[in-house]
A and B are shown apart, each in its own frame.
Chain A
Amino acid sequence: MPAPRKTSSNTAVTALMLLSPPLLYPVFYLVCLIQDTVLGDRLIIDHLRYVARRDLLELFLRDWAAALPVSYLVAVPVLGLAVLIVRRGIAGVCTSLAVPSLAVAAMLSATVLDINALPVLATSAAVFILLPCWVLSRC
């Protein structure tokens, strides 16, 4: 097993492992917002414009809290895998994680959720994988 490239990278990776999962839901929400605004009924924008913004914020926070355990369950193995492979090069990590993640997203949307969920899930997965990869590449 080759040694880590930099001593600071271990700290960065640990921080990434702890801090990335909470970002999963906001990333997912952002992609949903874009899809809803561009292709959907514009419910979120409508809510922001005409209804109490506090209610939307409360809903967001409640959903975020509900999503947190799942986010850690999903993100920790994925990022753990990244830590193991990171020493072999960032491009490899991205490829080895992005491809299966996108495949899982596609499978989830096609079988478990809904085929209409594919764009949101695939984009969320891609963003969520590319973001840590970018951070890791800077360490």
Chain B
Amino acid sequence: MLKRRLIAGACLLQVMSWNAPAADHAWVIGGGPFLENSQAQIEFNINWVLDFLRDSDADRVIHTYFTDGGAPFKDVVEWSRPAEDPVSLQPLARVFDAVEENGNHYRNSRVPGVDGSTSRAELLDELEHGFSALRPGDRALIVYNGHGLRGERDAGDNTLRLWNDTEVTAREFEQLLDKVDPAVPVRFLFAQCYSGGFSRLIRPGGEDVLELAPGQRCGFMAESEDREAEGCSASVKIGDYRDYTTYFFSALSGTDRMGRPVTQDVDLDHDGRLTLFDAHLYALAYGYNGDLPRATSETFLERWQPWYLRWLDTRTVPDNLYGKLSRIVAGRLGLPDTEPDLVRELHARKRSLQQEMNRALEEHDANKQRIHELQYGMQRDVGERWPGALHPYTGNHQQFMDEHLGEAQAFILAHADYPELRARQDRQMELDRVMLKIERDMTQLDKVLRLRRLARLLDQFQRHAGEAEKAWFRQLEQCERSAL
């Protein structure tokens, strides 16, 4: 009797699962690989994306994975400039090369509804389970906001940097996507450094081939497989962080991360619908950051291009979607709208920016050298008077901190080299900002060149690609041009 009831119950559960309404699932994965590299700016972005995903569709099923998975430990670091006084220990930090660490504030993350950690084993297990549970009619969205590394062998080995300093490669992630029912569309957004490697998720085995893996997969990446993203720049510390995700979701939500309305036309492909592809185009056209994003349909075109077309014509710009977009970006940058003046001016600006960058790098290196010299001399002077200051993690150091800290900091503040050390360290941080701006300006110019290249590439594809290739491209387009 009991057995019959159990069987009946199991059948009922099975029927219920068959009849479960189709749902939109979103996996939001983020945070750094360890405390020192788990910046609050990433958490800020993740929370903003989560808020938007919840507000835009109350029925959406959201799976959130962030750093240590809500454990009661400090897993986020936030930087703010310390006060220039002995109470904050800033004089001591300046001399003992801890000026950056002295501004760090550690705390537990504040991401609501976290389902688990991003630690490799746990995350892979959770994703496998979640992906296997998807049924036809469902849709999946994967958003990753964190850090990444470049693979040693090839782009398929580019990784997501996960909690506890673990990693998962693009190839391994592709194997996870094999668990998804082929009828379920999987859209993804990766914003880490070298994220272009994850465009391989659309290919069988994550290999460098043209054909598409079974199912419906498409996605968007903040950068190419060999370039660092904005998240690896100084901006992730200094609070000026605006990565690909920031612009992508601004387009979808209609407001930016600060709540300001988006004023530009977001339907850039003029199909009357707001799609993920529109959000990508918006980030390309209007994002002012160091990211040069790409969609899987674009990487598909690049992979398709045969050798005899690659450099054949780099002059003309067809009047297609990318051609129009290149003119929008060129106009925004104040570049001439006639050829060949546009290209000439663009390269002149690039050269000038590169010279500025070289000067900034030279100054940065020289400054660093001089800072080390000054620190070495001052450490020696402090060490002669209070040897315990030189040996942290010892009883002598504890004694120094308890009995001579005030005296030592007064000595540092009065030291003849201290004003120069302080000025040079402040200049070093200023140079980080200067280089970030140059990098962002260079990226804007690169966008124009990339969009012009994509315009030609699309034109070549439409004229020369075979039917099978065109069918794959249409499949990618259909997936990318879907609503959130």
Binding site for B on A (CB under 8 A): 25, 28-29, 32-33, 35-36, 39-44, 46, 49-52, 55, 59, 62-64, 66-67, 70, 113-114, 116-117, 120-121
Contact = CB atoms under 8 A, between A and B. Distances in A.
B217 interface: no
Contacts of A32: 311-312
8 contacts: A33-B311, A36-B311, A40-B314, A46-B347, A46-B350, A113-B464, A114-B460, A114-B463
Contact of B312 (A50, A52, A114): A114
Instruction: Give the interface SS of chain A, mostly helix, strand, loop or mixed.
Output: helix
Contacts of A36: 311, 314
A50 B313 CA distance: 21
B403 to A, nearest CB: 54
Contacts of B314: 35-36, 40-43
Q: From DSSP, what is the main secondary structure of chain B's interface residues?
A: helix
A66 B306 contact: yes
Contact of B343 (A41, A66, A114): A41
B226 interface: yes
B272 interface: no
A117 to B, nearest CB: 5
Nearest to A33: B311
Contact of B311 (A39, A44, A49, A55): A44
B315 A50 contact: no
B315 A25 contact: no
A42 B307 contact: no
Contact of B449 (A46, A52, A120, A121): A46
Interface of B: 226, 306-316, 340, 343, 347, 350, 354, 442, 449, 452-453, 460, 463-464
B384 to A, nearest CB: 48
B449 A43 contact: yes
Q: Which 4 A-B pairs have the closest CB atoms?
A: A40-B314, A63-B307, A32-B311, A116-B313
B318 to A, nearest CB: 10
Contact of A42 (B308, B312, B347): B347
Nearest to A45: B347
Contacts of B340: 39
Contacts of B354: 49-50
B54 to A, nearest CB: 40
Nearest to B463: A114
Given A41-B343, A66-B306, A116-B316, 19 more contacts: A25-B307, A32-B311, A33-B311, A36-B314, A39-B315, A40-B313, A40-B343, A41-B314, A41-B449, A41-B453, A42-B314, A42-B347, A43-B311, A49-B354, A50-B350, A50-B442, A114-B313, A116-B312, A117-B312
Contacts of A59: 310
A66 B210 CA distance: 15
B446 to A, nearest CB: 8
B443 to A, nearest CB: 11
A131 B442 CA distance: 41
B309 A63 contact: no
B307 A41 contact: no
B226 A120 contact: no
A12 B29 CA distance: 65
A40 B350 contact: no
A46 B448 CA distance: 13
Nearest to B460: A114
Nearest to B315: A40
Nearest to B459: A114
A55 B347 contact: no
B311 A29 contact: yes
A22 B347 CA distance: 33
B345 to A, nearest CB: 12
A93 B310 CA distance: 31
A49 B351 CA distance: 10
A63 B310 contact: yes
A12 to B, nearest CB: 29
Contacts of A25: 307
A121 B452 CA distance: 22
The residue in A52, A114, A117 that gathers the most chain B C-beta atoms within 10 A of its C-beta is A114
A67 B307 contact: yes
A51 to B, nearest CB: 8
